Amino acid sequence: MTVSVNSGRIRLLPTAALVLGAIYCVVPTLWILIAATKSKTDLFSTATYLPSFGAGIWQNIVDLSTYQGGIFWQWMLNSFGYALIGGVVASLVSAACGYGIALYEFRGRKVVFNVILACVLLPQIVLAIPQYLLLSNVGLTDSYLGVLLPQLFNPYGIYLCRIYAASSVPQSLLEAGRIDGASEWKLFHTVGLRLMGPGLITVFLLQFIAIWNNFLLPFVMVNSDSKFPLTVGLYSLLRHGAAEASLYSLVITGTLLSVLPVIALFLSLQRYWRLDLVTGALK
């Protein structure tokens, strides 16, 4: 593409604007980092934007880890567990459903897809309380399953998978496979899934983040604090702090530690964010 751009100047204004935007997005995390370096006693008595370089942060991490027998790290593990398992299973469910709807004609196909589309428009969060009430009748509340199962259904993921399957798995390939005598199931998991691979990773990441960020469902569903994810755990710490001193440092340190792993995950998985899927769906 040989094109002469009209000047070789660096675009200062757009760059500056973007940098401002980036600063706005980074400042809270930066501030939490600074606040976490302050010891309990210093938190409310020193200038807020100057970090302390003493043993503050280490002591805070120790305090957080010993609070109630290290329950913070249990929360971290729970969040990862819910998000990882939920993300993988939800992606597979979405993949299967999307593939089935895209590439097969069967009775009820339209109905199923339209119902799923309607679910995309439904604010999932509003279902959390009725789900709790229903699950309490079968004794599934306060269990890991009670938090996982409702989050395995991802209507938007199914929608994306359908689009992706339709565009990346050519019927001709399937036909060729059938002529060769392959069973439908074999076609699905050797041809279909592989071709849908990159899109599936995006669907997985979307659902991972959605589960990682979810608050209301586990908040309502879970009573034992050992099963809390990070969102509910840190919120409960904040609420406890309203009746007991000195938990604020723990909340701040916990907030910092909870943000780091996902940022790291993000940075390393950058190239898998195929969000053209989202807009491609509109064509």
Site for another protein in 110-169 (CB under 8 A): 112, 115-116, 118-119, 121-127, 129-146, 149-150, 152-153, 158
Pick 49 or 53: Cβ nearer another protein: 49
CA distance 229 to 218: 7
Distance of CA 258 to the CA centre of its chain: 13
Contact criterion met (CB below 8 Å) for 233 and 72: yes
* Min dist. Cβ of residue 98 to another protein (A): 9
* Min dist. Cβ of residue 199 to another protein (A): 13
Pick 64 or 135: Cβ nearer another protein: 135
Pick 26 or 173: Cβ nearer another protein: 26
> Interface with another protein includes 26 (CB under 8 A)?
yes
Contact criterion met (CB below 8 Å) for 230 and 79: yes
CA distance 189 to 280: 24
- Specify the stretch interacting with another protein by CB under 8 A; choose among 51-59, 194-202, 244-252: 244-252
Pick 172 or 242: Cβ nearer another protein: 242
- Specify the stretch interacting with another protein by CB under 8 A; choose among 55-63, 195-203, 257-265: 257-265
> Interface with another protein includes 97 (CB under 8 A)?
yes
CA distance 142 to 228: 9
In degrees and rounded to multiples of 5, residue 179 shows phi and psi of -60, -35
> Interface with another protein includes 265 (CB under 8 A)?
yes
> Interface with another protein includes 226 (CB under 8 A)?
yes
* Min dist. Cβ of residue 210 to another protein (A): 10
> Interface with another protein includes 43 (CB under 8 A)?
yes
Helical pair 71-103 and 109-120, crossing angle rounded to 10 deg: 140
Q: Write out the DSSP string of 99-125.
A: HHHHH---TTHHHHHHHHHHHHTS-GG
Q: Which two structure tokens, joined as six digits, stand for 83?
A: 């998000």
* Min dist. Cβ of residue 126 to another protein (A): 6
